[in-house]
Structure 1
Amino acid sequence: MKIILANRYLYPDESATSRMTSSLAFTLARRGFSVQGLTSRQFHDNRDRRLSSREMANGIAIHRLATSGFGRNRLWGRALDYITFHFSAVLWVLRNVEAGDVCVVCTDPPLLSVTLSLPLKLKRARMVNWLHDLFPEVALELSVVRKGWAGRVALAMRDWSLRGALCNVAPIDQMARYLERRRIPKGSLAVVHHWSDGAAIQPIPRNQNRLRRDWGLDDAFVVGYSGNFGRAHEFDTILAAAARLKHRDDIRFLLIGGGHKRAAVEAEIRAQGLDNIVLKPLQPRELLAESLGVADVHLVSLLPPLEPFVIPSKFYGILAAGRPTLFIGDPNGEIGDILERHDCGHAVAIGDSETLAGHILHLRESPERVIELSANARRLFEIDYTEDRGCSAWTKLLSRFLPSATAGAILSQAEAVAPINERSRP
């Protein structure tokens, strides 16, 4: 029996879902599973680069499918990339999957579980869905798909594919509860939180961070945003807070990354003359700890209607870096609740730039409080969101599908098998 992880991007791509899925694949291989990856030949941020069709990496065989390569800049191009991946994935499954295999199907491209459900059944293989995000809900809330018959059909088909799966793994409790309300069988739902690499991302003192020096931020109090400038995120509140604080020479905003809204954010910065904002491109993996460590406090944003459907993965890297979070979104949502319960940041509502600026000013004037929040953030990470904990939960889940002797041997290899946070057992 082999484990196949299907996601449009895998190692060496640096997108959020690629890092998460690759982390799980490599860990499962180290723990004795036979693991393969099913992905595309593309990089998420560079449509001109192509990877080889097959590669062995860290004990897993990565199969890269031929797809179109229009990239993410236009919806029609992205749609064609999705469609060609779906088509190639079906052909690959029919040719290569064997009876008893387990396919962990991710949510990039959207609705991949719908496409692969029947081919996997035909091959007498089993499907486990890893719901990084929920589609079509995200597309419906962002008006990428209209809330008419097409949306209803997409929802019905997605729900059908989840009901036929062995297990559906959500990253947050809110998502699992939402799926219960959609009559996905409670026994098929599990919650395994996302994680980050706490060995690679560790707190770096300000005076030891090379990027702070290189970027001329040595003496400033830095408010950072790192990651995707996507449709699910909100930047007007951040820019308004920066405008309120533009007179403060000792406070700088640092925005790192790219994506759909990056150009609009840059245009607004120029229009308002926000010289207190520094823009940098997405940094390579080997600089991730330093780039996250540049900021004294990090910004995370999420549009409130998307709360049950998306969890910003950047949050776990911020916790690993030992930095407080200022969350712009629903203060009563998943991240807002975590920040309040564990005292590692603050949440403000969309549009409340005055409160956001107030929190920044308070932290600028209270270095002891920043140290306290930072320590709480890293402590929370080490308790709940380490790579070992998340992968151990997956090890336990997938071991159920192995012969008992093999499962016992694999579980014994896990250094510390964390109890899976499940709604119930499938």
Structure 2
Amino acid sequence: RPGGETPRAEMIAGVRVERVSGLPLTRASLRRRALSYLSLYPALLLRALRLPRADVVVTLTDPPLLAVLGPALKWLKGSRLVHWAQDLYPEVAEALGVLRPGGVLARLCRGLSTWALRQHDVIIAVGRCMKQRLCARGLAPERVWVIPNWAPATVQATDPSAGQTFRKQHGLEDRFVVMYSGNLGLAHPFEAVLDAAQLLRDLRPQIVFVVIGSGPRLAWVQHQAAARQLTNVRFLPPQPREDLAESLGAADLHLVTMHPALAGLVVPSKVYGALGVGRPCLFLGPAESEVAQLIQQFNCGEVLPAATGAVLADRILAWASAPARRQAVARQARAAAQTSQLSTAVAAFLSVFNTLQHQAAYAEPSNLGVCRRCPREALNATTGATGSEQGVCSLRS
């Protein structure tokens, strides 16, 4: 925090935030990163045990296997447990080559994770494909709710003309802008994107690729772009949240990529922002992913499960030559984004908490599953409790 250290505890928007610290986090070394994560677990558990009892404890997935701490709070403090799964470990680490698939460490982590998840009262998955993965581990389907992520509030009510200022600032007025905006992580392959940019550099110089974001693969992508002399690829830093509507709206076409082995293990949330500004999206990833299902359901882009650079370049050219199609898709894209809003997620979370509160009060099993219908069906449930009336502790670093 500029001008001083981050306080150990403070109130933010009416929510008390407690912080713990561990060893410095670095992406330079896998071993040092693992040690940093390990140093957080005891600090998080001790702090949570010292806090007043919460009715509900929510465990997250960063750092990995944080759900393992949840059962201790359930047993020692009598709290109900909810796990909010943004990704699944150790499967993600196996798919990316961080852990040997089926190795001793991977099997140990999976067994520990599955045991911990079975102690939770509810597991929230961010996609239907993730729910299938969780159930494949032997978790009861009725305990797994699907609550998708959402676009930032600054993007959800976007003016159709958003992006013009951004285009002028960066000299993009007369260009067809193909944008990748978000984290450049190990889960996001870029080979096909770079190959397509190389094919289009001389063929259609007015098409420009704009990469906005940061992450562990950024340096590699920048190096590749420089080595191939891709003058049609530009890099910009992450944009402030309040400017996202302008930056995302500057694109004519958005790209989202995902490693094919990660279907059901992660769900790229960047798609919600792209659709929120009414732009078509090309998804380079597995057809069974939540993102692919959303795009196909609303016909607001294309799914390219095994796209090569040539295939991607061909589809970009097709979209660049079809302004009427892009305009028609804008309405469909916004309709898709409307199904995944913050208000919908809040209603779903309140339904989870109220159900658990009811179970605790009457000590009888309840049918957990409001979101087990169509996971994108708008939840119109009204609740009698507000956030201030429920003791909810979110356990994360």
If the TM-score is normalised by the length of the shorter chain, which range does it land in?
0.7 to 0.9
Q: Residues 163 and 248 of structure 2 are in contact (CA less than 8 Å); yes or no, is this contact kept in structure 1?
A: no
Amino acid at match of 2:241: R
What residue in structure 1 maps to residue 295 of structure 2?
Answer: 339
Q: Residues 298 and 332 of structure 2 are in contact (CA less than 8 Å); yes or no, is this contact kept in structure 1?
A: yes
Q: Residues 186 and 423 of structure 1 are in contact (CA less than 8 Å); yes or no, is this contact kept in structure 2?
A: no
Tell me whether 1:421 sits opposite 2:371 in the alignment.
Answer: yes
- Structure 1 residues 381-400: aligned runs within 5 Å: 381-382=337-338, 384-400=339-355
What residue in structure 1 maps to residue 311 of structure 2?
Answer: 355
Tell me whether 1:106 sits opposite 2:74 in the alignment.
Answer: no
Q: 2: CA distance between counterparts of 1:91 and 1:165?
A: 19
Amino acid at match of 2:344: R
Decide which of 119, 127, 140 is 1:185's aligned counterpart.
140
What residue in structure 1 maps to residue 191 of structure 2?
Answer: 236
Q: 1: CA distance between counterparts of 2:42 and 2:311?
A: 49
Tell me whether 1:124 sits opposite 2:74 in the alignment.
Answer: no
Deviations 1:303-326 (A, max 9, x none): 111011000011111111111111
Q: Residues 93 and 120 of structure 1 are in contact (CA less than 8 Å); yes or no, is this contact kept in structure 2?
A: no
What residue in structure 2 maps to residue 365 of structure 1?
Answer: 321
Q: 2: CA distance between counterparts of 1:178 and 1:226?
A: 27
Decide which of 213, 226, 243 is 1:270's aligned counterpart.
226
Tell me by how many angstroms 1:292 deviates.
0.9
Amino acid at match of 1:132: Q
Tell me by how many angstroms 1:205 deviates.
4.4
| TM-score normalised by the chain length of structure 1 | 0.81
Deviations 1:279-329 (A, max 9, x none): 001111111111111111100000111011000011111111111111111
Runs of 4+ in structure 1 over 6 Å off: none
What residue in structure 1 maps to residue 93 of structure 2?
Answer: 139
Amino acid at match of 1:116: G
Larger relative contact order (Cα-Cα within 8 Å, sequence gap ≥ 6): 2
Tell me by how many angstroms 1:390 deviates.
1.1
Task: Single out whichever of 395-404 and 167-176 deviates more from structure 2.
Answer: 395-404
Task: Single out whichever of 340-349 and 118-127 deviates more from structure 2.
Answer: 118-127
Amino acid at match of 1:115: L
- Structure 1 residues 393-408: aligned runs within 5 Å: 393-402=348-357
Tell me by how many angstroms 1:217 deviates.
0.6
Q: 2: CA distance between counterparts of 1:277 and 1:244?
A: 12
Tell me whether 1:56 sits opposite 2:6 in the alignment.
Answer: no
What residue in structure 2 maps to residue 411 of structure 1?
Answer: none
Decide which of 216, 220, 233 is 2:175's aligned counterpart.
220
Amino acid at match of 1:305: A
Tell me by how many angstroms 1:263 deviates.
0.5
Tell me by how many angstroms 1:349 deviates.
3.0
- SS of the aligned residue for 2:19 comes to strand
Equivalences, count: 364
Q: 1: CA distance between counterparts of 2:114 and 2:15?
A: 31
Identify unmatched segments of 5+ residues in structure 1.
1-41, 407-418
- SS of the aligned residue for 1:122 comes to helix
- Structure 1 residues 148-167: aligned runs within 5 Å: 148-167=103-122
What residue in structure 1 maps to residue 281 of structure 2?
Answer: 325
Q: 2: CA distance between counterparts of 1:172 and 1:75?
A: 28
| TM-score normalised by the chain length of structure 2 | 0.86
- SS of the aligned residue for 2:357 comes to coil
Amino acid at match of 1:128: V
Q: 2: CA distance between counterparts of 1:85 and 1:207?
A: 41
Q: Residues 198 and 320 of structure 1 are in contact (CA less than 8 Å); yes or no, is this contact kept in structure 2?
A: no
Tell me by how many angstroms 1:97 deviates.
4.2
Tell me whether 1:375 sits opposite 2:331 in the alignment.
Answer: yes
Tell me by how many angstroms 1:200 deviates.
4.2
What residue in structure 1 maps to residue 252 of structure 2?
Answer: 296
Deviations 1:196-240 (A, max 9, x none): 234544444458622111111111010000011100010000001
Q: 2: CA distance between counterparts of 1:335 and 1:324?
A: 13
Q: 2: CA distance between counterparts of 1:213 and 1:374?
A: 21
What residue in structure 2 maps to residue 84 of structure 1?
Answer: 39
Q: Residues 140 and 146 of structure 1 are in contact (CA less than 8 Å); yes or no, is this contact kept in structure 2?
A: yes
Q: 2: CA distance between counterparts of 1:333 and 1:56?
A: 37
In structure 2, the CA distance between the partners of 1:304 and 1:57, relative to structure 1 (3 Å rule), is: same
- SS of the aligned residue for 2:352 comes to helix
Q: Residues 192 and 420 of structure 1 are in contact (CA less than 8 Å); yes or no, is this contact kept in structure 2?
A: no
Amino acid at match of 2:30: L
User: What CA RMSD, in Å, does the superposition of the two structures yield over aligned residues?
Assistant: 2.3
Q: Residues 162 and 249 of structure 2 are in contact (CA less than 8 Å); yes or no, is this contact kept in structure 1?
A: no
Q: Residues 211 and 235 of structure 2 are in contact (CA less than 8 Å); yes or no, is this contact kept in structure 1?
A: yes
Identify unmatched segments of 5+ residues in structure 2.
362-368, 375-397
Q: Residues 227 and 256 of structure 1 are in contact (CA less than 8 Å); yes or no, is this contact kept in structure 2?
A: yes
Q: 1: CA distance between counterparts of 2:78 and 2:106?
A: 30
Q: Residues 324 and 374 of structure 1 are in contact (CA less than 8 Å); yes or no, is this contact kept in structure 2?
A: yes
Tell me by how many angstroms 1:74 deviates.
2.5
Q: 1: CA distance between counterparts of 2:88 and 2:4?
A: 28
What residue in structure 2 maps to residue 307 of structure 1?
Answer: 263
Tell me by how many angstroms 1:183 deviates.
0.8
